Amino acid sequence: MIEIKNLNKTYRTADKEIVALDDINLTIQDGEIFGIIGLSGAGKSTLVRCMNLLERPTSGEVLLDGKDLTKLSKKELLKVRQSIGMIFQGFNLLEQRTILKNVCFPLEIAGADKTKAEARAMELLEIVGLADRAGSYPSQLSGGQKQRVAIARALATNPKYLLCDEATSALDPNTTRAILDLLKEINSTMGVTIIVITHEMRVIDQICDRVAVIDKSHIAEEGKVSEVFTNPTSEIAKNLILPRDRAALNTKGGRRVRITFNGDRFDKPVIAQMVLDCQTPVSILFADTREMEDCIYGHMILELPNDERQADKVMLWLQNNEISFRGEA
């Protein structure tokens, strides 16, 4: 596992200190897909770079399978880094090398036999669906294809861990979905532990088991994705996960309530049933719900009728049917 203990990172300039990470504590279990989400400048990219000591912490411990990386010699650290792959937003491919040679590169650095390195590279290109492009150059590929090459390269040394720093931020939604599906398959079939750094909740929701929300250099909250998604406790998580619908601000209806679906099983369409039972219409101003394993997760903002008696009837129906909700300003 990866254990981060009391981690701090401070950058010093001529006239001031900038705290990038403040007392970070995290445990990432083997085999899981762990997400770290936050706004730009929150410290998430610094945190992921501290996990393989591309950034050396000012203080604290980074334990990889019980071994503190901060106490290793340079030679020992280089050896350990072979078990940690990394992919970036900008792909970072070598433009003068073919796709095959790009994937071979970390194996060359590790001193692998050329024939074995090329065989391993072709095996990985097959896995990411680009074996037929082995002789192409990066400039001849799309963004999604470049990221697939970057993933293959990161897997070349058979790492146990894969760090993904905003790996899908430069990609369109369809390509992002395909890359995330590929990462899930790699996690499932190869057992690679994956750490995903992103500012997009849709990425976390699609791929991760657990998530940590980072804000202003510290961890604001952490937990299962389904729990954080349906019941965020920190202000930053609420802003990331429960966005306010701007169009709703101009409506002239009645009270608004946010309904939360937290994984309960429903054998009927809840809103339709509520409207039928209460004999009153409601407006859906915002919805972000999904079904996973026959359970409903997500949230929805409803605008109730101006008639207070009708609105109270809806609120009572929600209470009687044990559906979580809260008032919205």
For residue 324, pLDDT over 50 is answered with: yes
Convert the pLDDT of each residue in 222-241 to its tens digit: 998 878 877 788 888 877 77
pLDDT at 329: 56
- pLDDT higher than threshold 90 for residue 242: no
307 vs 289: CA distance, rounded Å: 28
Q: Examine the pLDDT at 4 and tell me if it is beyond 90.
A: yes
Helix 173-190 × helix 143-154 angle, to 10°: 20
Can you give the residue range of the structural domain that contains 222? Answer: 2-239
> What are the strands of the beta sheet with 161-165, ordered from one edge?
84-88, 161-165, 193-198, 33-37, 210-215, 218-224
Same domain membership, residue 206 and residue 160 = yes
- The pTM (predicted TM-score) of the whole model is 0.78
Q: Which of 239, 255, 285 is the last residue of a domain?
A: 239
Length of the chain: 329
8 A C-beta contact, residue 198 and residue 169 = yes
Query: Is the domain of 69 the same as that of 184?
Result: yes
Q: What is the pLDDT of residues 9-67, one digit of tens each?
A: 999 888 888 889 999 999 999 999 999 998 888 888 899 999 989 999 999 999 998 89
Smallest Cα–Cα separation from 49: which of 62, 66, 32, 35? Answer: 62
Alpha-carbon distance 30 to 194, whole Å? 9
Query: What percent of the chain is modeled with pLDDT above 90?
Result: 33
Considering the domain architecture, whether residues 203 and 299 belong to the same structural domain is answered as: no
**Quick check: 194 pLDDT over 90?**
yes
Of 211, 239, 267, the last residue of a domain is 239
Can you give the CATH number for the domain in which 118 is found? Answer: 3.40.50.300
- pLDDT in the model for residue 247: 44
Asked if 97 and 231 sit in the same domain, the reply is: yes
Considering only residues 2 and 266, tell me which one the structure prediction assigns the higher pLDDT: 2
CB 141 within 8 A of CB 99: yes
112 and 153 within one domain:
yes
